[in-house]
């Protein structure tokens, strides 16, 4: 199976994937601190976790990732997963890797798997609809920064 949990040695690749995704979304100035990210993912109190996908038959290559953290729904009374970032490198798309990452997340919780999507991303909308995922009507996301 081409999906696995990230390990400490993947930090450089994870940061590179995030930066590549930022460029893909036309944000060219994102540069992450590898040591800080390493602490967030693999330190004594991890704040997030990552799944890595590899192309079929090529476990030596990283094709993409899902960057996640746990959440909890008081109304459902169970934990779920917050998918902060899903990115497959363009040359590895259309091979089912995004679906494999999301299936792996779905298998890790009986709760909700939730994420945000940038408005107007028709390709992503079609992909998520194909999974059976749907937008949440009546909810607006707020963000409060320091």
The answer to the question of residue 10 being in a domain is yes
Q: Residue 120 sits in a domain of what CATH number?
A: 3.40.630.30
Structural domain containing residue 99: 3-131
pLDDT of residue 1: 58
pLDDT at residue number 146: 87
Structure pTM? 0.90
Domain membership of residue 137 (yes or no) is no
- Torsion from C-alpha of 137, 76, 47, 100, nearest 10 degrees: -70
Q: Is 70 exceeded by the pLDDT of residue 72?
A: yes
Residue percentage of the chain with pLDDT more than 90? 71
Q: Do the domain assignments include residue 89?
A: yes
Residue/partner pairs of 121-125 with CB below 8 Å, 24 or more apart: none
Catalytic residues: 128
Tokens representing residue 6 in the block:
């990230």
pLDDT, tens only, 108-119? 999 999 999 888
Q: Please check whether residue 103 lies inside any domain of the structure.
A: yes
């Amino acid at each position: 199976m081409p999906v696995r949990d990230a390990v400490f040695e993947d930090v450089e690749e994870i940061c590179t994937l995030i930066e590549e995704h930022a460029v893909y979304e036309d944000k060219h100035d994102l540069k992450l601190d590898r040591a800080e990210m390493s602490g967030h993912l693999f330190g004594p109190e991890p704040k997030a976790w990552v799944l890595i996908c590899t192309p079929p038959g090529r476990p030596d290559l990283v094709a993409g990732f899902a960057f996640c953290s746990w959440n909890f729904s008081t109304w459902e009374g169970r934990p779920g997963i917050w998918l902060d970032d899903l990115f497959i490198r363009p040359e590895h798309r259309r091979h089912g890797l995004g679906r494999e990452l999301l299936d792996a997340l779905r298998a890790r919780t009986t709760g909700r798997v939730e994420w945000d999507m940038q408005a107007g991303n028709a390709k992503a909308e079609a992909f998520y609809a194909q999974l059976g995922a749907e937008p949440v009507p009546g909810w607006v996301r707020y963000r409060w920064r320091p």
